[in-house]
Amino acid sequence: MNTAVVSEDAQVVVRPLSAHTGAEISGVDLSRPLTRSQIKAIRNALLEWRVIFFRDQFLSHEQHVVFSAQFGELTVGHPVFGHVEGHPQIYSISKFRKETRFEGEPLRRPWTGWHTDVTAAVNPPYASILRGVTIPPYGGDTQWTNLVVAYEKLSAPLRAFVDGLRGVHRFAPPQGAKGTDAFASAVEQHTLVSEHPIVRVHPETGERALYVSPGFLKQIVGLAPRESQVLLELLWEHVTRPEFTVRFKWEAGSVAFWDNRTTAHLAPTDIFDLDFDRQLYRTTLVGDVPVGPDGRTSVSLEGSPMGAAAAIALN
């Protein structure tokens, strides 16, 4: 069945977009406070489909923040790259932003650019909420992949092996590229390095997900460099298999809301070959510290946890 009413009372309608990942939600106005049943229905859809999309939601910064706060505490816009002036919970994602761009051509591999948000922090955001404002008439699509189904599709012996592994995540330019001066300065002032389990147990559902953010995960603890490289490349290639993914075509007023604990996503690069502007804005919600199948939690190697206090301090 292509369309399902999640809650007859809430009239929240969910339309799945692929076999494993992504659903489009209608029947709600995000500019207004949601009812309890609407919040529950949206949360349930998020847990099931990992990323959910809304259309025709023309929100102000203030409305974006109010909507987000109904699902958790907000972080500062970005722990390394800052926030929109006057709106400490909002992060600007612009075609022309410089602080997160790189110089030089990175080594291009199938997983280049894929990432889970801010896994260099010991408690990465549990969710991100991105809204489109200025959208090109074509190009600029974003893709997400389902890290739970990716884990489940590994062979049983490999699942058993990776269940006990841990990896080091940090901010750094992709291989072959060099960070801009602004990037290097921001990272130096706000260094974040954490050790996370390679397999993360979801705190709400108990599902296991391959927590292998290609953009941040640099090495597997305890393995020789070559062993680490080969295993990571195998896992990164695996989690970005097309059948695990969904591709979203943005429109002005579109909103994407994803579970950062069970997804990785790929920002578009084709926009740099086009003359059109592209402007989106993101909020993130405070996350918990990941836990592996063995019960061990993540540990911070450098930097502070992400939290609501940082946003308040900057207000």
The residues carrying an active-site annotation are: 115, 117, 265, 282
Distances (CA, A) of 53 to 37, 67, 178, 231: 18, 14, 34, 33
How many CB atoms within 10 Å of residue 152? 14
What gap in Å lies between CA 288 and CA 306, rounded to an integer? Answer: 9
Classify burial at 44, counting beta carbons within 10 Å of its beta carbon; exposed 0-12, middle 13-18, buried 19 or more.
middle
Candidates 27, 51, 45, 214; CA nearest to 129 is 51
Tokens of 40: 């529950």
Candidates 139, 162, 119; CA nearest to 263 is 119
Distances (CA, A) of 130 to 76, 110, 197, 284, 314: 14, 24, 27, 9, 21
Angle value at C-alpha 205, between 203 and 207, nearest 5 degrees: 90
What gap in Å lies between CA 39 and CA 102, rounded to an integer? Answer: 38
